Homo-oligomer: A and B are copies of this chain.
Amino acid sequence: MTKMTLNCPLPYQPKQIVMAHGGGGRMMQQLIDTIIQPIFDNDILNQKHDSAVININQSKLALTTDSYVINPLFFSGGNIGKLAICGTLNDLAMSGAKPLYITCSLIIEEGFLITNLQRILESMQEIAQQAGVKIVTGDTKVVEKGKGDGLYINTAGVGIIADNIEVNPNKIQVGDHIIINSDIARHGMTIMLEREGIEFENDLKSDCADLSNLVQILINQDIDLHCLRDLTRGGLASGLIELATHSQLQFEINDSILPIQESVKSGCDILGFDPLYIANEGCFVLFVSALESEKALNYLQQHPLGQQACVIGEVTAVNDKGIVNLKTALGSHRVLDLLSGEQLPRIC
């Protein structure tokens, strides 16, 4: 195996898959842009949403898929099953869709405890029921010991997008406010500390949550959501960079406003991680016009998952390279760049 530093500044194109190819950073983008996208090339795939928007019989539907390979399978605030259902609900929600149906496919390693499988499936069902969706079909595969890691789950989801709703990166405009719903980096930091066996005094928990109900509230209030993005692998920074690059705009983000738990901040300081790049599982940004910003904030803050909602920045200019500028507490500026991979693999 070729070794590399995760922040290698030169284009690095190995012949083999490396962990960074799954990390939500530059190497994953390269793999998708140079290998996967060109082969599957089509108009829907090329939109690069969290979900594909498809039209069937005059209905606008969202379709999404994700495989979950998180380690450990159980963590403070959730488990792989809760994560899978929340992740799929969130991907649908980020397209403005109301989630309807979910599939569940299991790849189980020989020797996995059936009681653990039960606990995980029960978590899936619990979240699905709360969200009003049904898990309607599935698949079960078993692989030999040493050919998996306990359990991998794939969920795919279908949702419906109301006729008048269009939520996508092409709608982001200069002047838009960028709002975040909650504090960042909790999921990644929880997994990191659990994996390393580090214990914190206070109750650090993954933010793993279903955002679809919150998004539906905003939609029902007729707020024109220009774009939504959940901040999973690669964290806030990677999500914003992808959107800025795609829409060829410049975002200014105010670092000192970003909500972040003290324990998460301490953990990052101790371990030398940048919270901006750490994965979230219940955190998203929304882009709305300055006119609708206060209304959106108001509804967000009334919801348990949006109590810390705040405007973290603005879309300031057209910029063909797409730039995310971070204004630090000291007044200096820092241009955010994609990491090569993820600071921590198998986070979701």
Interface residues of A (CB under 8 A from B): 1, 14-23, 28, 31-32, 35-36, 39-40, 42, 44-45, 49, 51-52, 54, 56-59, 61, 63-69, 100-101, 103-115, 117-118, 121-122, 124-125, 128, 134-149, 152, 154, 156, 158, 160, 345-346
Give the Cβ gap from A22 to chain B, nearest Cβ, in Å: 3
**A145 (CB) vs chain B CBs: closest residue:** B1
Q: By the criterion CB–CB under 8 Å, are B158 and A35 in contact? A: no
Residue contacts A-B, CB under 8 angstroms, 23 given: A17-B109, A21-B108, A21-B140, A28-B140, A35-B118, A40-B124, A42-B136, A44-B137, A45-B134, A52-B136, A52-B137, A54-B136, A65-B104, A65-B138, A65-B139, A66-B105, A67-B106, A67-B152, A69-B107, A69-B147, A147-B148, A156-B156, A158-B158
For A32, A111, A143, the residue with the greatest tally of chain B CB atoms inside 10 Å of its CB is A143
CA distance A73 to B111 in the complex (A): 23
- Chain B residues with Cβ below 8 Å from A104 are 40, 65
Q: Which residue of B lies closest to A348 (CB)?
A: B141
Given contacts A20-B142, A63-B156, A143-B152, 11 further A-B contacts (CB under 8 A): A16-B113, A17-B113, A17-B114, A23-B142, A44-B101, A44-B136, A52-B103, A52-B137, A68-B141, A69-B141, A154-B156
A22 touches which of B1, B67, B140 (Cβ 8 Å): B140
A134 contacts which of B1, B32, B42, B69 (Cβ < 8 Å)?
B42
Q: Are B135 and A19 touching (Cβ within 8 A)?
A: no
**Chain B neighbourhood of A103, CB < 8 A:** 52, 63-65, 156
- Quick one: given A31-B140, A35-B121, A145-B1, are A156 and B65 in contact (CB under 8 Å)? yes
Contact yes or no, B59 A57, CB < 8 A: yes
**B138→A36 contact, CB < 8 A:** yes
Q: Would A114 and B56 be within 8 Å (CB), given that A31-B140, A154-B154 are in contact? A: no
With known contacts A105-B67, A139-B65, A114–B32 Cβ distance under 8 A: no
Contacts of A59 in B (CB 8 A): 56-57, 59
Q: Are the C-beta atoms of A142 and B345 separated by less than 8 Å?
A: yes
Q: Which residues of the partner chain B approach A346 to less than 8 Å between Cβ atoms? A: 141, 143-144
- Structural contact, A158 and B114, CB atoms closer than 8 A: no
Q: How far is the CB of A25 from chain B (nearest CB, A)?
A: 12
- A67 to chain B minimum Cβ distance, whole angstroms, is 4
Q: Are B22 and A136 in contact (CB under 8 A)?
A: no
- B15 pairs with A114, CB closer than 8 A: yes
Known: A14-B114, A40-B121, A54-B136. A101 touches B149 (CB 8 A): no
